[in-house]
C-alpha cells in the first residue's frame, strides 16, 4: 500500500507538531522573565543563559531582547509598571515554554492539547491568553501575550 503525497505531508506535519509540543515540555529552562512576571529578573536570566541583552525603551515600557548562543532570540515586552505583558521568540530552537509562559503554561498546554491537529501554525486565543507558534525544526517563531495586560495604545500586532 502506498501513501499519497498529501497524506505523507499531513502525517509529517502532525509528527512535527507533536515533537514541538513534547520538546516544549521537556527542554531545560532557557527562557527569560515569565509572562505576567516582573522584568527585574531579566538580568539574572541573561547571566544564567549566557546571552546578550539589549533593552529598547518604548512608549509602552521597554523591550528586553536576549540573544542566546543557540541563535534563538527571546523578546520580553514590559509595561511601564515593569510587568511582562508579552513574550516573543524566533530562532532554531524553541525556548522553554513552561518557563517563558510561567503561570499561563497550564492554560496554554490544556488549550493546545484540546485543539484539533491541523496544518499550519498553532493559534490559541482564550480569555486571558493568546499564543501563536509556527515554524519547523531549526526555524521557530512565536509569541504569547495577555490581552488585559497590554498597555493602552500598544498594538498587539507589533509583538514579534
Q: What is the pLDDT of residue 49?
A: 65
Q: If you search the block for the grid coordinates 503561570, which residue do you land on?
A: 103
User: CB of 150 within 8 A of CB of 81?
Assistant: no
What pLDDT is recorded for position 45? Answer: 63
CB 99 within 8 A of CB 27: no
At 53 the pLDDT is: 87
Position 31 scores a pLDDT of: 39
Residue 129 CB contacts under 8 Å (≥ 6 apart), including other chains: 104, 107, 108, 111, 144, 145, 146, 147
In the chain (160 residues long), the average pLDDT of successive 10-residue segments reads 46 46 40 72 66 88 90 93 94 88 95 87 96 93 97 93
Can you tell me the distance from the alpha carbon of 52 to that of 44, in angstroms, rounded to the nearest whole number? 12
Amino acid at each position: 500500500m502506498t501513501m499519497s503525497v498529501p497524506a505523507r505531508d499531513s502525517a509529517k506535519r502532525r509528527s512535527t507538531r507533536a515533537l514541538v509540543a513534547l520538546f516544549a515540555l521537556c527542554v531545560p529552562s532557557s527562557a527569560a522573565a515569565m509572562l505576567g512576571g516582573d522584568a527585574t529578573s531579566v538580568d539574572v536570566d541573561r547571566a544564567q543563559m549566557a546571552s546578550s541583552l539589549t533593552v529598547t525603551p518604548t512608549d509602552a515600557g521597554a523591550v528586553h531582547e536576549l540573544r542566546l548562543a543557540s541563535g534563538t532570540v527571546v523578546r520580553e515586552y514590559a509595561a511601564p509598571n515593569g510587568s511582562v505583558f508579552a513574550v516573543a521568540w524566533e530562532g532554531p530552537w524553541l525556548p522553554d515554554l513552561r518557563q517563558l509562559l510561567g503561570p499561563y503554561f497550564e492554560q496554554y498546554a490544556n488549550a493546545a492539547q484540546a485543539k484539533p491537529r491541523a496544518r499550519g501554525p498553532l493559534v490559541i486565543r482564550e480569555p486571558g491568553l493568546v499564543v501563536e507558534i509556527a515554524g519547523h525544526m531549526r526555524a521557530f517563531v512565536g509569541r504569547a501575550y495577555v490581552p488585559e495586560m497590554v498597555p493602552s495604545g500598544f498594538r498587539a500586532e507589533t509583538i514579534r
